[in-house]
Amino acid sequence: MNKTTHKPEQSWDNATWEGSRRAMIRQSLKLSVRERLQALEEMTETSQKLACLKKLNPEK
Q: What does the pLDDT look like over 25-48, one tens digit per residue? A: 999 999 999 999 999 999 999 999
**CA 33, CA 37: separation in Å to the nearest integer?**
6
The residue among 36, 34, 14 whose CA lies nearest residue 24 is 14
Res 1 pLDDT > 50: no
**CA 52, CA 50: separation in Å to the nearest integer?**
5
For the whole model, what pTM was predicted? 0.57
Res 55 pLDDT > 60: yes
- Average confidence score pLDDT of the chain: 85
Band the pLDDT of 7: cuts 50, 70, 90.
Answer: low
